[in-house]
Structure formats: structure tokens, C-alpha cells
Amino acid sequence: MHPSDHGIALELGIMLAASLLADRLVRPRGWRSLAGYGLQILLLLALAGAMLALSGSVIVTMLISVGLATALVLISNTKMAVLGEPLLFSDLVLVGAVFRHPQFYLLALKRWQLAALVLGGIGLLALMAWRFVPDPLPHLIGLAGLALALLLLRICLALPPWRRLAPRPDALADVAAHGLTATVLLHWQRWRSTADPAAPPAIAAGSTTAELVVVVQCESFADPVELFADQGLALPGLAAARQAATLHGRLLVSGFGAYTMRTEYGVLFGRDEDALGFRRFDPYLTATREAGHALPARLTPAGWHSLFLHPHDLRFYARDRILAAAGFAELVGPEAFAPPAVGRYVSDAAIADMIMARAQAARGPSLIHAVTIENHGPWPADRAGAHGRQSSAYLALVARGDAMLARLMAGIAALRRPAVLLFYGDHRPSIPGAVTPGGDRHTPYVLLRFDADGAIVPGNQRDLTPAQLHHALLAAIMA
């Protein structure tokens, strides 16, 4: 079909109406603002221009544009149901990770949803090849339409009605008020304009009293008593750690079921999400520009050696690049571990072995920061407990993290060195039918300070954000 045909306007109208109708199905739902509708229409026109430039076919342009808009709604609503958040601009950066690590993303989709996305993508590519128009004119018209739509978007975003939209990083409110695609664009623009903070001073030599610091971020570690409202599920290691801890309480994480890097960043870099602004959605995207805030970077001038240990691809979240910039002298990845004999991931017990071996071999002040992975989902909800459904798969795996905590407590005490052990969960598990978003999100943390005889210095209980936990850890190192 040639773009000059009289039906083009009708097909363009159908495309816009269908795409806007699809956006109305995005959760959370609400009355969209006129300014939000304007951004959505311009984004759709830009997409249509790009598709027309590629295919030269109006019908292909219409089908692909509507198909992509519908796919975004499906993905966003699935994420909302599993993680309690709609699709974010920062999620688009992880598209490559979906193909490298599909088990982390695609398992959240139902089979029919996954089949629809795969078959739909194949069908749209086949349609584009089949209906490709060799005449250069429609392709040039598409390029012109794309350029015009992008120009109008740039102008609109500079005008007062649009400059006032989404002043704060509230994805739920903004999607309800302005629509999904408009919110993605607005948040991306606000994120790009965020200024880098000034770095804090380095820690001076001789100002630390601890000689060994072990930090363990335990995958999906949460208290089963709180998850399933059953006192019979108490973890013995966690109970003993809480009783002896210098500091313990609830870690007030912002993510649910995912977003490990938010908690990891907060504990390592010590910047609260209120200060991060729109960087809070994925602080690792800009972490190299804030490297001076990281604990290992601040400890290095004081003569500390820092090691990061994680038995999974260190390119995930760009940890290989970010953590090297953050001051870790060594990064230990999956190549240092034997393949797991049971399950998909390296065990917590193997990580505990590595931590204690490196702690025993350390001769100077050392920071060992480990991130576990054995307790990674999915976990089916397979049986009913006293107060609802539970997951025996999750209970078995979280018990291994608890055993790791107990072992590290005993092992570090036996070293008889001034030391600090910090152990915490990165987020709660998402277990459909048993643990779902909408309620509490906190995880447990315990911070234990050992004196030169291996005794734990007593303390108190306090609820902290990950960034506040960073500063509590720093205070324990310098106590």
C-alpha cells in the first residue's frame, strides 16, 4: 500500500486509537492527563515513522506499532503483578540481559504470555519481510515523520505544561496520571538531568579499629515467620544472631522480588534513595560516576584490601566495571567455584568456604563483600500452612542461608581478630499465591562486632535503610 493512498489517514487513526486503548489497560489505571496523551501520541508517531522507514508498508507499520504497544502493556502488567512496579525506563537497559540470563526474567511470564510474545515477534518480522516495499518514497516519508515527531517531542518537553510533569520519582502515580510510555520518557529525561554528587573524604590511615569486615548480601533472605505468619518456621541462626548482635532490625529495602542492585548500591555507596532522585530506580546505571562514595574506595587510602565475591556472571548489572571503579582490588566470580552438584546455582555453603578461607589468609585490614545466589527463584507455592500457603522450596533454600550465617558467626569469632560481620537480605521473595507485592517489603539484617578475643560487642535494635546500614557499618569499622 502506497502512503499516498486515501486510506492512510484512516489506518493511522486506527493505529493511534488501538495503541492508546492498550495503554488504558496498564496498571495502575487512572485518568490520563492531556499532556500525557500528547506525549503518547508523539511517541507512537515516532515509532510509526521508524517502522515505515524500515518496511515502506503502512499496514506493516500499523500492525507492528500496535503489537509493540500491546507487548509493553503485557510486560508491564506482568511485572506489576510479580514485583509491584510497572515497567521503568531503566528496565529497557536490561533488554540484553534478558537474552543472556533468560531464567531471571522469562520465568515470571505465564506460558501463554511467553508464547504470545515469541510468536508475535516472529510473525511481525515475517510480515515485515513479506510486505517490504522497495519504492524509496515511503521509506523517506517514514524518516521525515520520525524526525518531525522527535523534534516535536523535544519542543514539548521544554515547554511549561510538560516540564511540570513527574517532578518526583513516583512510578505508580505517574503511570496512572500520564500513561506508561509518557512516564518512561519523562523519567528518562529527569534521570539524564540529575547531577553527580561530590565525593565524601577518604578514610584516613589509622582511623579504623576493625581488621576484618565480612559483608554478605544473601539472595532473597527473609524471615519465614514474617512471610508465612508461622512461629514454627523461625530460623535458628537468625535468632541467635539477633540475640547477640551489636545492631539488628528491619532493613527497609524499596524493591520486592528483584532489584538486588538497589539494596547492594545502598549498602556499598551509602546514598539514600531520596538523595538519588530518579537514579533510585537503578543506581548502578550511574554508579561509576559516584565511585568515591563506595566503602572500598574510601577504605583503600587507609590501607585496606577489598574483595568482591559473587558466583555468577559479573557482567550482570555491569558489576565487573562498576565494582572495580568502586575500589574493589579483587573480583571473584563463578570461575573460582566448582559447578554445583545440586541445583542451578553455587551453594551458600561453598561461598562460606571461600569467605573463611580468604579471611584466614588475610594479613592486613580486609573487606570481603559476598553476594549469594543459591536462594534464587522461582519458588512454587506448594502447600498450605497454618495461616495460608507456603513454599517448601523456599523454606529449604532460606535455611541454607541461615546455616551460612551461623557458620560465619562461629568462624569469625574463632579468628580472634577485631572484626565486623554484616549479613542481610537483598529483598523478599516473590512467590505467587504465597508472598505477593502490596504488603511489607523489609528484610532482616544483623551486624556483629567482634573484639580481639572473638566476643561480640552488644548493642541494640534499629530499623535502617540500606544507605543508613552503610553508615552503621562504617561506624562499626571505626568504633
| pLDDT by position in tens, the chain (length 479) | 444 555 577 778 888 899 999 999 999 999 899 999 999 999 999 999 999 999 999 888 988 889 889 889 988 998 999 999 999 999 988 776 665 666 555 565 667 767 776 787 787 778 777 878 999 999 999 999 999 999 999 999 999 999 999 999 999 999 999 999 999 999 999 999 999 999 999 899 889 999 999 999 999 999 999 999 999 999 999 999 999 999 999 999 999 999 999 999 999 999 999 999 999 999 999 999 999 999 999 999 999 999 999 999 999 999 999 999 999 999 999 999 999 888 889 999 999 999 999 999 999 999 999 999 999 988 988 877 666 789 999 999 999 999 999 999 999 999 999 999 999 999 999 998 899 998 899 999 999 999 999 999 999 999 999 999 999 999 999 98
Question: What pLDDT sits at residue 7?
Answer: 58
Question: What pLDDT sits at residue 183?
Answer: 97
Q: Taken in order 65, 71, 74, 79, is the CA torsion positive or negative?
A: negative
Cα diameter, the chain: 87
User: Which secondary structure element, helix H or strand E, spans residue 383, and what is its range?
Assistant: strand 383-385
Give, in degrees to the nearest 5, the angle at Cα 131 between 128 and 132.
Answer: 75
For 310, residues 6+ apart whose C-beta sits below 8 A from its C-beta are 319, 332, 333, 370, 371, 373
Backbone phi, psi, residue 218, to 5°:
-95, 125
Q: How far apart are CA 359 and CA 408, in angstroms?
A: 10
Q: Where are the domains of the chain?
A: 8-192, 212-477
Question: What pLDDT sits at residue 145?
Answer: 94
What is the 8-class DSSP label of residue 4? Answer: T
Q: Which of 455, 351, 348 is nearest to 410 (CA)?
A: 455
Q: Which of 445, 448, 417, 456 is nearest to 217 (CA)?
A: 445
Backbone phi, psi, residue 256, to 5°:
-135, 125
Question: What pLDDT sits at residue 96?
Answer: 64
pTM higher than 0.85, yes or no? yes
CATH number for domain 212-477, candidates 3.40.720.10, 2.40.30.10, 3.90.79.10, 3.40.50.970? 3.40.720.10
Question: What pLDDT sits at residue 118?
Answer: 75
- Location of C-alpha cell 531503566: 90
- Location of C-alpha cell 518537553: 157
User: Which secondary structure element, helix H or strand E, spans residue 53, and what is its range?
Assistant: helix 34-55
Q: How many CB atoms lie within 10 A of CB 340?
A: 14
Question: What pLDDT sits at residue 3?
Answer: 47
Cell triple for residue 150? 522527535
Question: How many residues are given for the chain?
Answer: 479
Q: Are 234 and 252 contacting, i.e. CB atoms less than 8 angstroms apart? A: no
Question: What pLDDT sits at residue 342?
Answer: 81
